[in-house]
Structure 1
């Protein structure tokens, strides 16, 4: 992260690859210490993986470099992600979500080109195909039903960041303050101060790798 900050410190606009939430937290800390402007772009509302753009205060604005693609694939989200990681350079894979009869994939322009050249049934999404609302129902895959695992994935923040909020007493289910190790169940509504509300609508079962697939409704 420090290398991106060093480049931006010299007056340049610097774009990162897709970062995981814990990397985003670290970059926020470094950018703030250096007095740099910082914007994140994930392509989809509440995206977990995001591209960061660092820029000096005198630059008024920066553009969104991400592309949202519609991709058809016979298989589940975990199998598709494995295939994509075999084709895309590290840092070109953003969020991947199931959509109606297809998947929505966030990448960068060269990532979209690489997938097309590799023979994937993929195209750039039309504006009306890209969700805009921060109130969404979607499926997520989590390693467990623990509050910190479900909350961080649902809100698109790092697990460490969400766990800090839990420890501070800012996360509740049915009015009761919860711990990170507590588990959610179908029908639970999780309220996180500063983030929003997450409702577990349906348990969709386990994936082949033993992870848990949930349908959640998130309001931010």
Structure 2
């Protein structure tokens, strides 16, 4: 279960009083509101890591500003699960289910990266020996588990497509429609149907104005990042550079 805002604030208060504290792995929405909360604690420094630069699930460490960041550990470990999956199709859910099935809580597990013969997993380092000993099957397929290091992660290459759009305004419905290749009216329905998030926060106002760096997520269609607002055309439209994640 993800930490609530009140629980994050409690950790930040403890850090402000001199403690070094850590979160478990947070999903993108929780990580986003955590970054927002940090603005209210100028006396607190932090580190964040999910095992690799583009990780979705990340872990934070909070500590007083007089503590050197290099002295703070995030306690992140890595395992590789391998088996003969030639005749059995497996997904992230299968691997995660097997891990949770050993009694480990979901928030102790970061991202899962599928590889040709198995899966690599970012986890709480203290749980690595336990998983090596306890995890022996995934979807009825016998597996072996070993510890690996960060440099051994086989990261998939992100598939993206750049989109140049000319929009009347920077409203979410207008920019989102251009990014996902749908009509503006359809985008409005998706927004009002609570299927759209901006920076992993639910957004139900079609008139919400986006800005560079914003990530728009539409359930079932993926994500679009607002890369740049590149000026205004002669006809008065905003030129927007978008990155669509495929």
Same fold (TM over 0.5): yes
1:47 to 48, 55, 72: 55
Deviation string 1:73-116 (CA, Å, 9 cap, x unpaired) is 54222111112122213421111111232211000122212211
Change (3 A) 1:101 1:181: closer
Q: Does 1:103 align with 2:113?
A: no
Whether the 8 Å CA contact 1:191–1:197 is kept in 2: the answer is yes
Change (3 A) 1:2 1:79: same
SS in 1 for 2:25: strand
Whether the 8 Å CA contact 1:7–1:14 is kept in 2: the answer is yes
Change (3 A) 1:168 1:193: farther
SS in 2 for 1:28: helix
Deviation string 1:34-81 (CA, Å, 9 cap, x unpaired) is 211122110123111111100111112133421122112542221111
- Compare CA radii of gyration and give the structure with the larger one: 2
2-side partners of 1:98 and 1:124: how far apart? 16
Deviation string 1:155-178 (CA, Å, 9 cap, x unpaired) is xx95218999x943448xxxxxxx
Q: Which residue number in structure 2 is paired with residue 60 of structure 1? A: 68
2-side partners of 1:45 and 1:163: how far apart? 30
Whether the 8 Å CA contact 2:24–2:108 is kept in 1: the answer is yes
Q: Which residue number in structure 2 is paired with residue 207 of structure 1? A: none
Change (3 A) 1:162 1:102: farther
TM-score by length of 1: 0.63
2-side partners of 1:3 and 1:82: how far apart? 30
Q: Does 1:193 align with 2:227?
A: yes
1-side partners of 2:204 and 2:120: how far apart? 28
User: How many aligned residue pairs are there?
Assistant: 172
Q: Does 1:4 align with 2:11?
A: yes
- Provide structure 2 residue ranges, at least 5 long, that are not aligned to the other structure: 1-7, 137-143, 160-178, 181-186, 191-197, 229-241
Equivalences for residues 74-93 of structure 1 within 5 A: 74=85, 75-87=90-102, 88-93=104-109
Kindly report the root-mean-square deviation, in angstroms, between the aligned alpha carbons of the 2 structures: 3.6
